[in-house]
Amino acid sequence: MQLQELVDHDAGILSPALIAGALRTTKAEIADTLGLSRDALSRTTRVRSTKTQTRLREMVEILRRVEDYTGSPALVAYAWFRSQALPGFGGKTADELVREGHASYVHSYLDHVMAGGYA
């Protein structure tokens, strides 16, 4: 999943519709996963908001890293993002950490694992 493929070039923002299509899911499910209201991914003014674009970008960046590291398709990375409890974070998943504003924790965890550390 390439970030540039998910940008609405006319609007210059990450497109929830393109992301949902790439992940074979709905915008409503992505909103739930990221702790956003469903309006955040359907109303133009809300889609353009800093909060919405930040959460989408954080999710896509993490999915790309997992996809690149494991060689798995984006769908598998998305399943990992939503369901794999991360050791050292109280059993929270990557999506829970992103919702709480801690995407950097997920990146640190991935850096550690990719460097050969234990999960």
pLDDT at 59: 95
| Cα 94 to Cα 107: distance, rounded to the nearest angstrom | 9
| Per-residue model confidence as pLDDT tens digits over 39-55 | 999 998 999 999 999 99
16, part of any domain: yes
96, part of any domain: yes
Dmax over Cα atoms in the chain, in whole Å?
A: 43
- Give 70 or 64, the one with higher predicted confidence: 64
Please compute the mean of the pLDDT values over residues 50-64 and round it to a whole number: 95
Domain count, the chain: 1
- Phi and psi of 61, rounded to 5°? -60, -45
3-state secondary structure of 14: strand
9, part of any domain: yes
57, part of any domain: yes
119, part of any domain: no
- Phi and psi of 15, rounded to 5°? -100, 115
19 burial level (CB within 10 Å; 0-12, 13-18, 19+):
buried
Which pTM value belongs to this model? 0.88
55, part of any domain: yes
34, part of any domain: yes
Q: What is the mean pLDDT of the chain?
A: 90
Domain interval for residue 85: 3-114
Which tokens is 112 given?
Answer: 């550690």
